[in-house]
A and B are shown apart, each in its own frame.
Chain A
Amino acid sequence: MSTQSEGALVDALEMTQIRWHSRGGQGGMTASQLLGQAAFEDGKQATAFSFYGAERRGAPLNSYNRIADQPIKLYSRVSSPDMVVVLDESLVDIQDVTAGLDEDGIVVINTTNPDIVDHDGPVIAVDATSIALDYDLSVDGTPLVNTPILGAVARTGAADIDTVAGVIEAEFGEANMKAAREAYENATEV
């Protein structure tokens, strides 16, 4: 996968930076925390954090991960990500989801139509909504796409799929874990 390590100015900037785009209630913040946990269990240093205003269902929010071999000193929001993860394809219309993303950076998106993403580099698409509904993962009618899409994120190598599955199962049980594994198998790279 693409990381800044190839061209990092200084050692402390050698890391993989991930930006999540989601809507309140979809579990984007939780997904970033689970990925941080999985990367940590893989033996990496990891941080996970989110930035949003007043918490409300449906509002766009950004979450972030940094994953590195050395302790991570950065706390500012990720403006030059190596990967972006989009949980809700409608965000593509209202946000520049690839802002700051390198040409060879990776987009992971929950969609059946990856053409909606304007990006020359790799795009990993997965129909996380259908997978969530197949496994009956929803709250008040909102499909919980966060655990399935983590399976697709694991395809990039950001964390090991077995670790991700273990972290998800420990936190949310078997159905979520199986949904993540199915997304890992079904994700397609465009």
Chain B
Amino acid sequence: MSDAVAKSEREQEESNARIMTGNAATALAAQDAGTDVVAAYPITPQTEIVENIAEAVENDEFDAEFSRVESEHSAMAAVMGASQANARTFTATASQGLLFMSEMVWWTAASRLPVVMSIANRALGPPWNIWGSHTDALSQRDSGWMQFFAGTVQEVYDLTLLSFRIAEDQDVMLPAMMNLDGFTFAHTMQPLEKLSPEDAQAFIGDIDIPHEVTSQNPRGFGAFTAGDHFWKFRKKIMDAMENVPGVAEEAFDDFADLTGREYDLVHEYKADDADLVIVGLGTLAREAEVAADVLREKHDVKAGVVRPLLHTPFPEERFREAVGDAEKVVVLDRSTSFGRGGIVTQDVKLALDQPVASVIAGIGGQNVEWDDMVDIALDAEPGKSQWFGGDL
């Protein structure tokens, strides 16, 4: 997968390779996907996404309507309306902006509109904080949006393109959130191999909203619905969500044929024979691969990492298979559900039979290095929920 970006210099020149931040890669993916309408409001650490798109539209490099709106709530309302008119739509936000947008986030999913939104994950205040946490996105876990989490800049770009393809699939027709760790990706440049816009758009296909509204075919949406029919709308979303893993796997296969980069619902690293499995989302779990190497070579512990790329719907079956019969499962959880523990931990517990050790780590930009992860993995106790950082 992302290791495939390791290429010789000559190959890099031939293959559209470059180095850029996750924010820049996000803007580029929205552009290469042939997005028709973008409405967004800037917020740290997502600002660069909006700036890059605005600049590309202004320079006629990106043929989209860019709508400057006065708030995140309006941003989602604008792309929802455009999507209803069969436009490919994109927006981006983070943290407080996502919460402000929340009403329209739920409305868009229940309207079955395949909007793609990037979240540069950032902690929710107070206290005020601009660094990474996953609680912002996971607070919308039950809204009806798919949720992807990237671990490299290459994944940020690729999973954004894949999000459009999967969201617009006729068996899904639901919006998708593409999560990139705030600040980590916003300000980390990594090598990226991009697709041509032609290849990207051929891969995604043409958008075809079955309930498109046009001036020739006016329709009403969101009308008053009583209990004898309301549940049917919700059941249909549940059924569509169940289709996501299969549709995603098919999209991953086609993407691998096109690019050579192979993705899976969960990314495994040395998990096959692992007695100890570290679980996490995004960049933290990517760095955990180094911790797994060190645990194997210096501590004689067969360690591996299982990192879901798709968190909603949680790919339980594939996840359980990846973890296997590992004796110790340690979740590095970058989110909090007060009264419950880490949010990701809850999904992991539901998927597994063995007891799970949960450690809340890396929230609000807390620096967690690979050697910290080695200690966390060795010290974590199955069945317990702990916090990284020492005494309160």
Contact = CB atoms under 8 A, between A and B. Distances in A.
Contacts of A75: 181, 184, 188, 283-284, 286-287
Interface in A31-61: 33, 36-37, 40-43, 45-51, 53-54
Given A9-B297, A71-B2, A76-B370, A47 B183 contact: no
B290 A49 contact: no
28 contacts: A9-B297, A9-B298, A10-B293, A10-B294, A37-B19, A40-B19, A40-B191, A41-B9, A42-B9, A43-B9, A45-B191, A46-B19, A47-B190, A48-B19, A48-B189, A49-B189, A51-B187, A53-B130, A71-B5, A71-B152, A74-B290, A74-B369, A75-B286, A75-B287, A76-B368, A77-B369, A79-B367, A79-B369
Contacts of A46: 19, 189-191
A55 to B, nearest CB: 8
Contacts of A50: 187
Contacts of B286: 73, 75
B278 to A, nearest CB: 13
Contacts of A9: 293-294, 297-298
A49 to B, nearest CB: 4
Contacts of B369: 74, 76-77, 79
A133 interface: no
A37 B17 CA distance: 11
B216 interface: no
A138 interface: no
Interface in B178-202: 181, 183-184, 187-191
Contacts of A45: 5-6, 191
Interface in B7-25: 8-9, 12, 18-19
B289 interface: yes
Find the residue from B3, B9, B12, B19 having the highest chain A CB count within 10 A.
B19
Interface of B: 2-3, 5-6, 8-9, 12, 18-19, 130, 152, 181, 183-184, 187-191, 283-284, 286-287, 289-290, 293-294, 297-298, 365, 367-370
A42 B10 CA distance: 10
Interface of A: 9-13, 29, 33, 36-37, 40-43, 45-51, 53-54, 70-77, 79
A165 to B, nearest CB: 17
B6 to A, nearest CB: 5
A47 B5 CA distance: 13
A49 B294 contact: no
A49 B187 contact: yes
Given A43-B8, A70-B6, A73-B290, A10 B19 contact: no
A170 to B, nearest CB: 12
Given A40-B191, A43-B12, 19 more contacts: A9-B293, A10-B293, A11-B293, A29-B187, A40-B18, A43-B8, A45-B5, A46-B19, A46-B189, A46-B190, A49-B184, A70-B6, A71-B3, A71-B5, A72-B190, A74-B369, A76-B368, A76-B370, A79-B369
Nearest to B286: A73
A177 B203 CA distance: 41
Contacts of B6: 45, 70-71
Nearest to A12: B290
B388 to A, nearest CB: 12
Nearest to A74: B287
Contacts of A48: 19, 188-189
Contacts of A12: 289-290, 293
Residue of A37, A48, A70, A77 with most chain B CB atoms under a 10 A cut-off = A48
Contacts of A71: 2-3, 5-6, 152
Contacts of A36: 19, 189
A72 B188 CA distance: 11
A86 B337 CA distance: 42
B189 A74 contact: no
Nearest 3 Cβ contacts at the A-B interface? A43-B9, A49-B188, A10-B293
A51 B290 contact: no
Contacts of A42: 9
Nearest to B362: A76
A36 B181 CA distance: 20
B298 A47 contact: no
A50 B297 CA distance: 31
B293 A33 contact: no
Contacts of A73: 286-287, 289-290
A33 B181 CA distance: 19
A147 to B, nearest CB: 17
A77 B368 CA distance: 9
Nearest to B298: A9
A13 B287 CA distance: 11
A30 to B, nearest CB: 11
